[in-house]
Amino acid sequence: MKKTIAALFILTMLLSMSVIYGQSYPSHTPEFYVNDYAGILSAETEEAIMKVSVPLAQETGAQIVVVTVDSLEGQDIESYALNLFREWGIGDATKNNGLLLLVSLNDRQSRIEVGYGLEGALNDAKTGRIQDDYLIGHFQEGNYDAGVIGTYLKLAEEVYIEYDLDEATITDQNVYYKPGTEEEEGKLTIFHVILIIIGIMLMMLDLIFNRGRITRVVLYMIVRNSGRGGGGGGFGGGGGRSGGGGSSRGW
């Protein structure tokens, strides 16, 4: 009986802590492929990204996601990008072919995070050159639209080549996108709130009767696993597996 209670406690704590941990990062927008939290992109740029992203994902499963944030909140951009990539599950669950273009405005840093399935086509050196050629110069001039769309289209081109696809076919104007049709996920539900409350109560009981021994074990497991690469995500295409491949730049 004690083992069963302990197992239930650990499971509850893991679930509740995973919800809390996930709130450190923004939830994706309903559009998913473009998430301009820093407010630096025009409506035209966002529309252009959507016109390429949706048919590309339909044909290949590859998802190229743009995220802009004001700040990395003290994290290094490599950790932030990897954790966000995993949480959103960017890319196809089987092919692991996600790409993330992350821009932190106040930190003046950018990163391209690459899923396992595209590391052959987009290695660290190539993603670095893409940022050097298509992003950095524009960002230094304050032209964020040009930097983002140029980088995005170059990444899309590399995906076309990898899957031997014709760009004209992928970007057929007959394929359109209706904003808001994708299910919005990642919000804190009543179930999550109840789970968190139960987890906190169990933690208090553990502190009172067991001097927090179980809590320490659970927290150790969370900290130990939080820095590991890979792992499936709950959003997007169900991918999110990356070993930290990609490149970072500053401007």
Region for 165 from its dihedrals, namely left if φ exceeds 0, alpha if ψ lies in -120 to 50, beta otherwise: beta
- The reply to whether 29 falls in a domain is no
Q: How confident is the model at residue 173 (pLDDT cuts 50, 70, 90)?
A: very low
Render pLDDT for 203-220 as a digit per residue (tens, 0 to 9).
787 678 766 667 665 654
Q: Are 59 and 122 in the same domain?
A: yes
Same domain, 71 and 151: yes
Range of the domain at 218: 190-224
pTM exceeding 0.85: no
238: helix, coil or strand? strand
Q: Is the pLDDT of residue 169 over 70?
A: no
Q: Same domain, yes or no, for 41 and 151?
A: yes
On whether both 141 and 207 belong to a single domain, the answer is no
**Residues 121 and 147 reside in one and the same domain:** yes
Contact 90, 62 (CB under 8 A): no
Where does the pLDDT of residue 165 fall: very low under 50, low under 70, confident under 90, or very high at 90 and above?
A: confident
Judged against a pLDDT cut of 70, whether residue 47 lies above it is answered with: yes
Domain presence at residue 100: yes
Which residue do the tokens 């450190």 mark?
A: 24
Specify if 166 maps to a domain: yes
Residue 241 sits at the vertex; the CA angle it makes with 37 and 152, to the nearest 5 degrees, is: 45
Alpha helices in the chain (DSSP H): 2-22, 43-60, 77-88, 124-131, 137-140, 144-162, 167-170, 190-209, 213-226
Average pLDDT over residues 33-50: 97
Is the domain of 102 the same as that of 203?
Answer: no
* Residue 75 pLDDT level (bands cut at 50, 70, 90): very high
For the chain, the domain total comes to 2
**Which is higher by pLDDT, 235 or 205?**
205
Q: Do 199 and 139 share a domain, yes or no?
A: no
Residue 109 maps to a domain: yes
Mark which of 146, 161, 181 sits at the end of a domain.
Answer: 181
Nearest CA to 90 among 100, 80, 81? 100
Q: Are residues 70 and 112 in the same domain?
A: yes
Q: Say yes or no: 58 and 109 in one domain.
A: yes
Which of 27-41, 59-73, 135-149, 225-239 shows the lowest mean pLDDT across its residues?
225-239
Give the range among 39-43, 54-58, 135-139, 238-242 with minimum mean pLDDT: 238-242
Strand order in the sheet with 34-36: 34-36, 63-69, 98-104, 109-114, 245-250
Q: What is the CA radius of gyration of the chain?
A: 20
pLDDT for res 196: 85
Domain boundary pick from 153, 181, 209: 181
